[in-house]
Amino acid sequence: MARIKLDLDRKIGSVDRRIYGGFAEHLGRCIYGGIYEEGSPLSDEHGFRRDVMEAVRALRLPILRWPGGNFVSGYHWTDGIGPCEKRPRKVDLAWFSEESNRFGTDEFIEYCRTIDTEPYICVNMGTGTLDEAQAWVEYCNGTGNTYWANLRRQNGHEEPYNVKYWGLGNEMYGPWQIGRLNAHDYVKKAIEFAKVMKWTDPAIELVSCGEIGWTEWDRIVLEGLAPYVNYHSVHIYTGSDDYYSNVFAPHQTERALRNCQALIDNVRFTQNIAHPIYVAYDEWNVWFRAREHETGLEERYTLADALAIATYLNSFVRHCNTVKIADLAQLVNVIAPIFTNK
């Protein structure tokens, strides 16, 4: 007769609420027509959809990642500040669309404050520069009499935003990424980004760009960036038309978290690094059904998909000593739990 023994005295750690985070990218109808729709009778004075905000508030998101995703590697944040009518409309090469820049940094922070969530900004390490990343931190968090802090004030925001979480690029290992780098070149570049960003605001916490947690990329990046970062990102999507494969595929999260923790433990030991480094599982979901036209990303989920999501979350909870941030991709309309139909 099989027996299961529950050891109630064995405590792994505390579950961090940030594992229930979200992700909003400039992709499909996630931002425009999703959380933001200027001029709509359904929107407030900021252009935020009231019905979507109500649904998002019900999720009680502790953290929200933005603006990407692949989008960020071609995004220049200064295009998205100042008067909306003066912001440039540009080509988005990540998703082969056009970006109006009407939803930018100030709108994102305002949205986070409105839904009571912590902002998490990923910087552009594809076409972006060192100066650009440093200026973004200064614009958001600067308190002195400096150009970027004063520009934030000029744009109507006297107090600093105090954005704590910053990602050092997105999926820079991928051939789909603008400005793709090999692991060693990414480390060299990210170190310089990390230095100026932390020098601008020592209170921020940085996330290195990981892959799936156990690759050569992950090893090289952790060995190079461990002294500078607080988190290492992991991205995994799963899905299958086969019911059992779909439900159980997220078990690879176990492999990702165990192996990534081993890499972290090894680098902290060999380099005598005192500060903790956790996993930020900042993109995950069931994603495999391909559709055509502009609604191709607007997944309609099934019970099997819901069970797969539960498997992911169960893994995050059971590895609470390893993963402290996790962001479901994405928030609205694009492979999302919330959809708008008008």
Closest CA to 288 of 304, 264, 311, 273: 304
110 in active site: no
Q: Contact at 8 Å (CB) between 133 and 193? A: yes
Q: Which is the catalytic residue, given 37, 283, 298, 299?
A: 283
Q: Which is the catalytic residue, given 171, 211, 298, 299?
A: 171
| Residue 180 to residue 96: CA distance in whole angstroms | 17
Closest CA to 325 of 104, 66, 22, 24: 22
* Beta bridge mates, 236: 284
Q: What are phi and psi of 84, to 5 degrees?
A: -60, -40
User: Cα dist. 172→98, 142, 168, 176, 229 in Å?
Assistant: 22, 28, 9, 9, 16
Angle subtended at Cα 165 by Cα 53 and Cα 22, rounded to the nearest 5 degrees:
35
Q: Contact at 8 Å (CB) between 283 and 327? A: yes
User: Cα dist. 269→57, 74, 187, 223, 320 in Å?
Assistant: 41, 37, 19, 11, 21
171 in active site: yes
Q: Contact at 8 Å (CB) between 271 and 226? A: yes
Q: Cite the active site residues.
A: 171, 283
